[in-house]
Amino acid sequence: MQDEYIKHNKMENYNVKDINLADQGLMNLEVAERNMQALVKMREDLKERKPFEGLKIGMALHVTKETGVLVRTLQAGGAEVAIASCNPLSTQDDIAAALAKEGVSVHGYKGENNEDYYKYLENVINIKPHITIDDGCDLVTLIHTKYPELMENIIGGCEETTTGVIRLRAMEKDNALKYPIVAVNDNMTKHLMDNYYGTGQSTLDGIIRSSNILFSGKTVVVAGYGDCGKGVSMRARGMGANVIVTEVASFPALQAKMDGFRVMPMNEAAKEGDIFITVTGDRDVITPEHVKLMKSGAILANSGHFDVEIDVKGIEELSKSKRRVRHYFDEYVIENNLNGSEKVIYIAGEGRLVNLASAEGHPSEVMSLSFMGQVSACLYLVENKGQLENKVYQLPDEYDDKIAQAQLEVMNVTIDELTPTQIEYLASWKEGT
Amino acid sequence: MQDEYIKHNKMENYNVKDINLADQGLMNLEVAERNMQALVKMREDLKERKPFEGLKIGMALHVTKETGVLVRTLQAGGAEVAIASCNPLSTQDDIAAALAKEGVSVHGYKGENNEDYYKYLENVINIKPHITIDDGCDLVTLIHTKYPELMENIIGGCEETTTGVIRLRAMEKDNALKYPIVAVNDNMTKHLMDNYYGTGQSTLDGIIRSSNILFSGKTVVVAGYGDCGKGVSMRARGMGANVIVTEVASFPALQAKMDGFRVMPMNEAAKEGDIFITVTGDRDVITPEHVKLMKSGAILANSGHFDVEIDVKGIEELSKSKRRVRHYFDEYVIENNLNGSEKVIYIAGEGRLVNLASAEGHPSEVMSLSFMGQVSACLYLVENKGQLENKVYQLPDEYDDKIAQAQLEVMNVTIDELTPTQIEYLASWKEGT
Amino acid sequence: MQDEYIKHNKMENYNVKDINLADQGLMNLEVAERNMQALVKMREDLKERKPFEGLKIGMALHVTKETGVLVRTLQAGGAEVAIASCNPLSTQDDIAAALAKEGVSVHGYKGENNEDYYKYLENVINIKPHITIDDGCDLVTLIHTKYPELMENIIGGCEETTTGVIRLRAMEKDNALKYPIVAVNDNMTKHLMDNYYGTGQSTLDGIIRSSNILFSGKTVVVAGYGDCGKGVSMRARGMGANVIVTEVASFPALQAKMDGFRVMPMNEAAKEGDIFITVTGDRDVITPEHVKLMKSGAILANSGHFDVEIDVKGIEELSKSKRRVRHYFDEYVIENNLNGSEKVIYIAGEGRLVNLASAEGHPSEVMSLSFMGQVSACLYLVENKGQLENKVYQLPDEYDDKIAQAQLEVMNVTIDELTPTQIEYLASWKEGT
Amino acid sequence: MQDEYIKHNKMENYNVKDINLADQGLMNLEVAERNMQALVKMREDLKERKPFEGLKIGMALHVTKETGVLVRTLQAGGAEVAIASCNPLSTQDDIAAALAKEGVSVHGYKGENNEDYYKYLENVINIKPHITIDDGCDLVTLIHTKYPELMENIIGGCEETTTGVIRLRAMEKDNALKYPIVAVNDNMTKHLMDNYYGTGQSTLDGIIRSSNILFSGKTVVVAGYGDCGKGVSMRARGMGANVIVTEVASFPALQAKMDGFRVMPMNEAAKEGDIFITVTGDRDVITPEHVKLMKSGAILANSGHFDVEIDVKGIEELSKSKRRVRHYFDEYVIENNLNGSEKVIYIAGEGRLVNLASAEGHPSEVMSLSFMGQVSACLYLVENKGQLENKVYQLPDEYDDKIAQAQLEVMNVTIDELTPTQIEYLASWKEGT
């Protein structure tokens, strides 16, 4: 396999849609870097130190302009990088082309089929990575199930997203995890930034690009009130919508209620919503039964990692016909149980994460924070090589501090410093009323 | 000229980019109609009554899916319609194709040059319209200056936008206006809806599609705090930005301040802004002098009707180089006066209305309200034919009531009704403390 | 009567609760003046010019610290002022005392009965005013119905509030109005400031002071979506509530819907609301029938001018018992139709304007704007003496400009100025695309 | 000491301002209970089970109507309760009177001096409590430093607030903590509810009641962007203010920036602010040096636990004069360094927590959540008696779940339940793209 990989590598070490898109991709990378200055600064430092010299990093991430900047950063630190897409609809073909042109082993195209999806993951695994970087845990799972022999070579892995971390913790609980993982998602500079501000804006962006719907005056149902759901709800309200939240857990439900939203079960919300957005990390959040209750014209979109939240297949079976009426915007014609007539339901982005399928994913600014976390996690793995257990780790708080500080710096924000008296006061416990 | 027109009409009565886009256009029209139910209902009624039988209506409007629904509505009422674009970057080519296929005399393509722009207006004028519908007053101006002989034929005109109404009132003041105009823009259901909610969302949409910038954490400078500026400011805040407003009039400046925004002159705001949006209706709002003060990476966009608000030409002269880095998103490299290095400024949509140049314009929902106003204005002109002076008219309040009521109906919103006692109370003046 | 008045004037020219409160009142006036700098500046100018020399001004306004500053301003301009309260619960007794001590003929106390209320109005009328200033039109009505002989002496009147203007326009329509009135309420610097920002904050303030309820997580029903209703709705949402709007007119209902609120008839909203706020200007907005539908613990408050919006008497008749549980916060025990048990309904401020009954009314900042309008109106009446018809007038726009400008100045806000080129552009109509 | 206590108990087992206020206090308790239904339900259960039978609970909490409901709840569970105020300005005298009348050993009055403050804490300690409940850690500190002999009797303690937890963790770090403490503050249902929604509303309420200032159009400087600072910032914006945040830590500073606020050091913010609010938990946040930079008319208020955040003494020394102009609202006249003239600075609530000094503290709804946490913590201590170390504990997550669930129930909010398939999906890790 080794030989085959090398041959492949020498000949045409990438699978992209159209290499001619590279020029557009390079410009997009340039624009992205302007909005990722803190990560770019980190790159300058890594270029000096070369902490990843001799290491291979295998990635399954959304192949976007921001990921391209991450790839460049790790390479600057000395790593050899191979990357496959972590979702069939999230590759930006111009970026893939640009990376290919820069010599990266990149595999993915927008709209790739399941077979290619897994073939490309294997292309990445074939480089025998020392570090894996996942968004959704597919690389780790594939290595654990099909390529266990590669694990002795692996220092550790990094996981980008909530869904992936949930899977990894399940693995850890089952004693199935065989190498240490840093849950980058759990950095405050990640899950309180990218999941919240990033998902908030980009989900609306995806829905608007695919439908051109007006949010003002609409009822938007947001399923899930975690970091992503909070971001989406806040932005939907910020655009003039009336938001209903559905939840399965009491505390976030209470938060949603206290934040001024209505909270109810999905089978009630289904009757009221104009736009439905799932961000739960779980399956069957919107089912054909819910669809039966909906108004004609309802739009369904998902921003959770996997395409299981909306039961697209079930809805298709319910439908008389299906038609693509706009870019990744599909119309399903369904019998309207309420009055015998027909009604129409739209699904954006095929039920895959709408911000990537129908727009460009999270803006560069938040991905800069997330990816400083990824680089930090790689450094952490390298620096603690051999000393970590096969567990899911969280980076120590000082990493978050440094990342936040670096970001404030490029934003030209200065803050106060504690005086010695103030530090002393915080450490003392005798001073009372 | 008559003959020539007819010949032209019979042979190839349209100028569009690609007639093969018609299928996509037809689907977009269908989706739009779902969000314009109240206008569609109006069409049903007009189809019965045919109030425009025998009339020719000449339009200069943005050729979007929503305008397409307006065209269909006027045709349903019996009118013959010809339409040219009212802006070089606002035509949606698939819609133009679809209208052409439906037999409409449609003239325009996205990115058309100035020569074509005026040629197409003349194509519309050549049908010898009885009613003109303008968005920006170019048709009225052209008729007044070059085709005065056609005016005896004209019952009246309708104007869609603030800028156009300003021009028309200037004409009226100069006694230059030679036929009556209904200022549709002044309908509450227009300027308090489309200008506010429509411009608010679509301007941000245009900027995000062209730049993929994150609004959260950014400083957004909004020039002008009229209906459009208010909408843009509110939505920018709703997306997490810190908003600065610039104004030339005291009262809106005070409103902006009371709404929690900072208010300052542009030459101060220029130093702080990350994103600049002009919605003033005036020229030279952002000049090269302002650009000199800006931070590197600043993004400029205009949502005012004409491309005079940002002095694009002046900025180009100031620049060392210019390059299109994304769709209608141009990078200007400029010497940075502050530190001798270079800085980069981006202009979205060439300084033309960014919501149409870089996105799809106002969503259908608000255009439904605006265009119910246009149809109402046409009906008003026909019903009051010969009885109006050469002035700018506003529709009586009951039109707004009817439009709002029709919209509430399709949104399934019911409201309270005054009881006789309540009506009596409101009419009495003797009942006090 | 003249003689009697003078005697009364010399002896004890006021009716206040407790003259010993004057010191607190003087301090409150001082604090208020700090927040009414633009009005105070106006006073400096009037002091020089004495435009009201020899004139008597009779007022029926809320006797608050802000009104005190208005009184001082008109006096500085040379006027002799007499004032009665325009609402039984709105007098701040310390301010009344302070004004009395300063020699103003002031009549009112918090909680005054109906008899005193009208007696005090007559005390004001007895000075034979040349100008009347009303808030709610009671003075004008009383003069028209009982003291017509005084009208030949009257130059004109000023009206502060929407409700008063509605009554006056009804009088005008009936040809019953016998002297000219300036509708100060219709100044943009009044109804778009005081009604909106003022009522918004102070209504919530009144409800919180009387109930200490948490707005976050509550459902707030706002009846009426005029300037006041918009302000209240926005602030309720700003405090974390979920807002339902009820309306009788289509356009404001549509605005409320587009602003992201739910809109429904009161008999539906009654079932959902935790807090009900009426700001309609009409009677019977909340009736016993609505109360029957409400949840136990619901709070009712009114911010409209008169206490007719909530049918307090009807609710009392419905109740088994009534008890004052907190400051102007009354508990009504009612049989709960839903389950046979009892429920409790609270009414704040006896159904009178809650911001004055339970808090301190609009903050000084907005009253400064309103009262610059009152002073401007008085100046307008004096300057146009004898030239006005017996109609309801609106001040010309330049007054609003000046007031807004004066306010911006004391807030240290500077704005842009139009260049000659820009002015020319706005006036021209030939420059198009 | 025991004997003395008992004697005292029999004779006059309370120190309150005026026992005649009890009737008003009882009504306030009744109103509070309506908004604390979930806690009241908990009480019903405790009444049955009597888990605190034979236990003495000593409290130092704000003596408010909500605390009164907590006292009743613990008593219902069988406890004997003694309570002192935990802050000199936070006692509501009517509630203290009501509790006294109900036989509670209650000690405190609004405006109590330092001597009484500590005497009252000792009164509580004198009952030889088995459990202590603190808000700010004064009781724990006093026991540790002056009454160590009582500690063998103590099962554990509960701490209500962030500041107290900081002190306790410092004690734990110093190995000075001698009995286990439950950090009730760290419950999500406490610090993400009461600190956020509670402090947000009540801080503004305190400032408005003391100053009657309009928030709309003001610049509000919030020092500290923890849970409290976030709540205050959000509500200040919700009332129309422009908010500046100051911070000493990078991550919350970044959050504030991303939430659309300006972030800068206090010595810059000092020049811009109209209203300053400290919520940091540290001292010297606003110093005389900052005050020198401020505009005349600036208002200073603190919502942190101790009165050290604003250096009130230092500001007094800077001042020419000081005067109380309104209820707990003091004016300081200071030489204005900028122009030689004088300026005025206001301090609300003497720099003590403004929501309690100038208003009524957090509304009942959030205190219900906090105090369900307190009761849960007491139960946890009793159930784990003898098994806990001398550490600061956090309640397990299921307590938060139960509390949130109980609250949702009384709010009539229902949510979705996970299906078996969904539970299985969440637990599995093999199912990928």
Calpha distance B34→D292 (Å, rounded) = 61
Q: How many percent of chain B have pLDDT more than 90? A: 93
Q: Rounded distance, CA D402 to CA D236, Å?
A: 31
Which pTM value belongs to this model?
0.96
**pLDDT at residue D107, as a whole number:** 97
Is pLDDT above 70 for D5?
A: no
- pLDDT score, position C257: 98
Residues A214-246 pLDDT 10s: 999 999 999 999 999 999 999 999 999 999 999
Distance (Å, rounded) from C-alpha C209 to C-alpha C202?
Answer: 10
Return d(Cα A341, Cα B277) in angstroms, integer: 45
pLDDT (0 to 100) of residue C338: 64
Which residue among B88, B174, B430 places its CB closest to the CB of C141?
A: B430
What is the per-residue pLDDT for A418?
97
Say yes or no to pLDDT of C2 above 70.
no
Chain C's closest residue to A261, CA to CA, is: C242
Please calculate the CA angle D286-D370-D193 and round it to the nearest 5 degrees.
65
Which pLDDT belongs to residue C430? Answer: 79
Instruction: Give the residue from D242, D258, D264, D268 with the most B CB atoms within 10 Å of its CB, the best one to mutate.
Output: D242
Q: Token pair of B18, please?
A: 């690609």
CB proximity list for B63: less than 8 A, separation 6 or greater: B83, B85, B90, B91, B92, B95, B96, B99, B106, B108
Residue C404 is nearest to which of B170, B254, B433, comparing CB atoms? Answer: B254
Long-range CB pairs of C250-254, under 8 A, 24+ apart, other chains included: C250/B401, C250/B404, C250/B405, C250/B408, C250/B415, C251/B188, C251/B189, C251/B400, C251/B401, C251/B404, C252/C224, C252/C225, C252/C226, C253/B404, C253/B408, C253/B413, C253/B415, C253/C225, C254/B189, C254/B193, C254/B404, C254/B407, C254/B408, C254/B413
Is residue A165 within a helix (H) or strand (E), and if so which, with residue range? helix A162-173
Strands D321-326 and A392-393, sheet pairing: unpaired
CB A101 within 8 A of CB A12: no
Q: How many residues does chain A have?
A: 433
**Cβ separation of D257 and A401 shorter than 8 Å?**
no
- In the three-class reduction of DSSP (H, G, I as helix; E, B as strand; rest coil), residue D64 is classed as coil
Longest CA–CA span in chain A (Å) reads 75
How many angstroms separate the Cα of D426 from the Cα of each of A172, A199, B109? Answer: 14, 21, 51
Taking all residues of chain A, what is their mean pLDDT, rounded to a whole number?
94
Q: Which of residues 82-111 of B touch C (CB under 8 A)?
A: 86-88
Distance to chain B for D247, nearest Cα, Å: 16
Which among A142, A248, A426 is the nearest to D282, CB-wise? Answer: A426
- A115 CB burial (10 A radius; 0-12, 13-18, 19+): exposed
pLDDT at A137: 94
pLDDT digits (tens, 9 = 90+) for C161-193: 999 999 999 999 999 999 999 999 999 999 999
Instruction: Find out whether B378 and B57 touch, Cβ atoms under 8 Å.
Output: yes
In angstroms, the CA C161 to CA C90 distance is 15
Mean pLDDT within D404-433:
92
Strands B262-263 and B242-246: parallel
Q: How far is D344 from chain C (nearest CA, A)?
A: 10
- CA dist., res. C177 & res. C141, Å (int): 9
The closest alpha carbon to B382, from B172, B180, B210, belongs to: B180
**Using the beta-carbon criterion (under 8 Å), do C365 and D31 form an inter-chain contact?**
no
pLDDT (tens digit per residue) in B143-165: 999 999 999 999 999 999 999 99
Which chain C residue's Cα is nearest to B353?
C433
Q: In sequence order, what DSSP letters do the residues of D343-404 get, joined into one string?
A: EEEEEEGGGSBHHHHSS--S-HHHHHHHHHHHHHHHHHHHHTTTT--SSEE---HHHHHHHH
**Quick one: pLDDT band at residue B7, thresholds 50, 70, 90?**
very low
Tokens 């001004």 — which residue?
A: C57
The predicted structure's pLDDT at residue D8: 38
Pairing verdict, β C342-348 and C329-335: antiparallel
SS3 A116: helix
Q: Say what the pLDDT of residue C337 is.
A: 67
Contact A39, A372 (CB under 8 A): yes
A74: tokens are 């790790």
> Which of C241, C258, C259 minimises the CB distance to A260?
C241
Return d(Cα A372, Cα A37) in angstroms, integer.
11
* Cβ distance of B261 and D241 shorter than 8 Å: no
Chains that touch D (3 or more CB pairs under 8 A): A, B, C
pLDDT, mean of residues C128-135:
97
Is the pLDDT at C258 greater than 90, yes or no?
A: yes
B415 touches chain C (CB under 8 A): yes
| pLDDT over 60 at C333, yes or no | yes
* 8 A C-beta contact, residue A253 and residue D407: no
Average pLDDT over residues C322-346: 90
Instruction: For residues D124 and D129, give the distance between their C-alpha atoms in angstroms, rounded to a whole number.
Output: 8
Strands of B67-185 (E only): list them: 80-84, 105-107, 131-134, 156-159, 181-183
Task: Assess contact for B274 and C411: CB atoms under 8 A.
Answer: no
Arithmetic mean of pLDDT, A75-102: 96
- Tokens, residue C269: 């909203």
A100 touches A106 (CB < 8 A):
yes
Tell me which residue in A167, A415, A428 faces D253 most closely, judged by beta carbons: A415
Q: How far is CA D117 from CA B120, D11, D146, D305, in A?
A: 85, 21, 15, 15
Tell me what the mean pLDDT of segment C71-94 comes to: 96
Average pLDDT over every residue of B309-330: 97
User: Residue D65 in contact with residue D25, Cβ under 8 Å?
Assistant: yes
Q: Provide the CB-side half-sphere exposure for A78 (13 A, CA).
A: 15
Give percent above pLDDT 70 in chain B. Answer: 97
Instruction: Give D306's contacts in chain A (Cβ within 8 Å).
Output: 431-433
Q: Please judge whether C242 and A261 are an interchain contact, meaning their C-beta atoms are less than 8 angstroms apart.
A: yes
Complete edge-to-edge strand list for the sheet that includes strand B156-159: B14-15, B105-107, B80-84, B56-60, B131-134, B156-159, B181-183, B392-393
Structure tokens at C175: 């040809």
Whether the predicted pLDDT of C354 surpasses 80: yes
Task: Give D140-157 pLDDT, tens digit per residue.
Answer: 999 999 999 999 999 999
Distance CA C46, CA C68 (A): 16
Q: Which two tokens stand for residue D54?
A: 């034979």
ipTM for the complex? 0.95
Q: Is the pLDDT of residue A8 over 50?
A: no
DSSP string across B291-306: HHHSPTTEEEEE-SSS
What pLDDT does residue A271 have?
97
Within 10 A of D132 (CB to CB), how many other CB atoms are there?
A: 27
- Cβ(A357)–Cβ(A374) under 8 Å? no
Return the bridge partners of A346, or none: A299, A331
Q: Shortest Cα distance from B423 to chain A (angstroms)?
A: 29
Interchain proximity B432–C306, CB inside 8 Å = yes
Q: How far apart are CA D298 and CA D291, in angstroms?
A: 9
Q: Which residue has the tokens 């599995």?
A: D428
D217/B contact by beta carbon, under 8 A: yes
pLDDT in tens, D286-333: 999 999 999 999 999 999 999 999 999 999 999 999 999 999 999 999
pLDDT at B432: 72
Distance from CA of A367 to the nearest CA of B (A): 10
Give kind and range of the element (H or E) at residue D331: strand D329-335
Residue type, B343: K
The CA R_g of chain C, rounded to the nearest whole Å, is: 23
Mark which residues 27-46 of A lie under 8 Å from D by CB.
none
**A396: contact with B, CB 8 A cutoff:** no
Chain B contact partners (≥3 CB pairs within 8 A): A, C, D
- CA–CA gap between residue B245 and residue B268 (Å, rounded): 11
pLDDT at B338: 64
Mean pLDDT of B391-400: 96
> With an 8 Å Cβ cutoff, are B237 and A238 in contact?
yes
Model confidence band, residue C10 (pLDDT cutoffs 50, 70, 90)? very low
Q: What is the pLDDT of residues D228-284, one digit of tens each?
A: 999 999 999 999 999 999 999 999 999 999 999 999 999 999 999 999 999 999 999
pLDDT at B4: 38
- Which of D 159-188 lie inside 8 A of A, CB atoms? 166-168, 170-171, 174, 176, 188
pLDDT in tens, D169-178: 999 999 999 9
- C411 neighbourhood in chain D, CB within 8 Å: 217
Nearest to A282 among D247, D422, D432 (CB): D422
Q: Is C225 on the interface with A (CB under 8 A)?
A: no
Q: Which residues of C touch D197 (CB under 8 A)?
A: 214, 216-217, 240
Q: Which positions in chain A touch C260 (Cβ < 8 Å)?
A: 216-217, 237, 240-242
pLDDT of residue B12: 58
Contacts of D266 in chain A (CB under 8 A): 416
Spatial neighbors of B58 by CB under 8 A, at least 6 apart, are B81, B82, B83, B124, B125, B127, B129, B131, B132, B133, B139
Taking contacts as CB-CB distances below 8 angstroms, the residues of chain D near C28 are: 325-326
Q: In terms of Cα–Cα distance, which of B148, B220, B207, B159 is closest to B184?
A: B159
Contact of D274 with chain C, judged by CB distance below 8 Å, is answered with no
**Half-sphere exposure at residue D330, Cβ-oriented, CA atoms within 13 angstroms:** 19
Whether residues D251 and A188 touch (CB distance < 8 A) is answered with yes
Quick check: B338 contacting C, CB < 8 Å? no
